[in-house]
Amino acid sequence: MHGRPRKSLSDGGSQEKDMAKAAGLQSLQTQFFKNHHEKIYTKEALQLNAKLLEINPEIYTAWNYRKLAIKQLLESESDSAVIKQSLDEELRVVERALKRNHKSYGAWHHRKWVINMGYSSLDHEFQLLDQLLKADSRNFHGWNYRRFVADMKKSRDEDELKFTTKKINENFSNYSAWHNRR
C-alpha cells in the first residue's frame, strides 16, 4: 500500500503472471481456512500455513491458527526439549515473514507471544534486532520489541544506552534512537 509505483494497465503479459500468482494465493488460503475451521494441526497443515504467511504475513487469522496449534501441543506434550523445538520453528516462521514485511504487526506479536513462553534464547533476539535495526533504524516495531526483550533479559540501562549511542553515531537524526534513551 506504500511506496509502490503506479503501473500502466496495458502490460498484458505481467497481468497474466499476476492472475496466476493470485490464483496460487487463493488456493493456499482456501486450504488454510478449511484446516483452521476443522481444527487440523498436522505437520502438513502447519507447513501450508507457514507458506501462506511467508507470502502474506498480514493474514492475522493465520497467526491465530499457529497459536492454537501450539496451545494444543502444550496440552499434550510435557518434554520441554520437544516444546522448545516447536517454538524455535515458530520463531523461524516469524523471521521468514519479517523478511517479507518487517513491519507486520501480526509477525511481531507472534514472536513476542512465543518468547513470552520462556523457552527461547534472548541472545538470538538481540542478534536479529541488530540486523533489523541496521536495515531500518527507524522501525518502531523493532525498537518496541527490543525494549520488551531487554526488559525480559533485565539488561542494564547502560547497555541499552550504549546501543542507542551507536545508532546516533551512525545517524545523528535518528529520532527513534534519541527517543529510546529516555
The residue (of 77 and 136) whose beta carbon lies closer to other proteins is: 136
The residue (of 112 and 124) whose beta carbon lies closer to other proteins is: 112
Q: Is 104 left (phi over 0), alpha (psi -120 to 50) or beta?
A: beta
Could you give the CA distance from residue 128 to residue 95 in angstroms, rounded to a whole number?
9
Angle, helix 80-100 to helix 60-76, in steps of 10 degrees: 170
Which residues have CB under 8 Å from 161's CB, separation 6+? Answer: 181
The residue (of 85 and 116) whose beta carbon lies closer to other proteins is: 116
Instruction: Please report how close the Cβ of residue 169 comes to other proteins at its closest, in angstroms.
Output: 16
The residue (of 26 and 72) whose beta carbon lies closer to other proteins is: 26
Q: Catalog residues that contact other proteins under the rule CB under 8 A.
A: 1-7, 9, 15, 18-19, 21-22, 25-26, 29, 33, 37, 55-56, 58-61, 63-64, 67, 105, 109, 113, 138, 140, 143-144, 147, 173-176, 179-180, 182
For cell 538481540, name the residue: 126
